[in-house]
Amino acid sequence: MSMHEEGAQRLRCVLPFEAAPKEVHLLRLEVKRNLEQWGALSVLDEVGLVATELATNVIKHVGEGASATLVLEPRGDRLRVEVHDGSRAVPALSAVCGEAECGRGLHLLAALSEEWGTRVTATGKAVWCEILLTPALQCARVQRAAAVLDEYRRMIGPDLMSTPGHVVLGALVPEAIADLLHWLAAQGGDPDEVLGLALDRYESAAEAA
């Protein structure tokens, strides 16, 4: 259900889904897994809620069974969330909303995000929002580590793609560190010395955050 695309300077997650209640639940689990992997724990609830509401809006306003795509992309100190579908009907946020069909999802977008909007695409439209991330959680070190762990997932086997994020991290982080220490020893380095330096740098960065 997921496809990851990493460029040299970015992380990006693309999640195609079918507009159906069961798929919406699976989509939220995938969103949670990816945010855990990226270290963006501070926005798990907000992004999960936004993703659920936007996917539900596709069911309501485009039609159950419609094909759609959720895109997650960190951009500096924000996380951009986009839902693409095949309809060119652009939703509007009413000034006064007393009816369920007026767009509850859009009101949540306005309440939870720094910015939001819509745009017409070549195949339909996209509804997007940007949610503020805690800067320390979205630093360059965390992004680099997330990219490395993504590569480990693919190298070790596809079975890990359906494993909960916290389980994968618990298995992969020690494995990645052990591999680096083996490489270091093969180059004539001192693993204990490097571990001490790494811990010092981590503690200094954590105190400064």
Question: Which domains does the chain possess?
Answer: 3-134 (3.30.565.10), 138-208 (no CATH)
pLDDT band at 145 (very low <50, low <70, confident <90, very high): confident
pLDDT at 72: 96
CA distance 40 to 133: 7
Residue 121 has pLDDT above 80, yes or no: yes
Element (H, E) at 48: helix 44-61
Q: What are phi and psi of 92, to 5 degrees?
A: -125, 145
**Which is more confident, 53 or 8?**
53
Cβ-contact 50, 89 below 8 angstroms: no
pLDDT value of position 102: 45
Q: Which residues contact 107 (CB under 8 A, 6 or more apart)?
A: 93, 97
Q: Which token pair is 95?
A: 């000034």
Radius of gyration of the chain (CA): 20
Q: What is the mean pLDDT of residues 18-43?
A: 90
Determine the average pLDDT of the residues in 48-63.
90
Region 107-136 average pLDDT: 83
**Which residues, listed in sequence order, are joined to residue 63 by a DSSP beta bridge?**
none
CA–CA distance, 121 with 138 (Å, rounded to integer): 29
Assessment of whether the complete model's pTM goes beyond 0.75: no
pLDDT greater at residue 138 or residue 105? 105
pLDDT at 202: 79
Task: Please name which of 8, 56, 52, 54 lies closest in space to residue 31, comparing C-alpha atoms.
Answer: 52
CA distance 123 to 173: 40
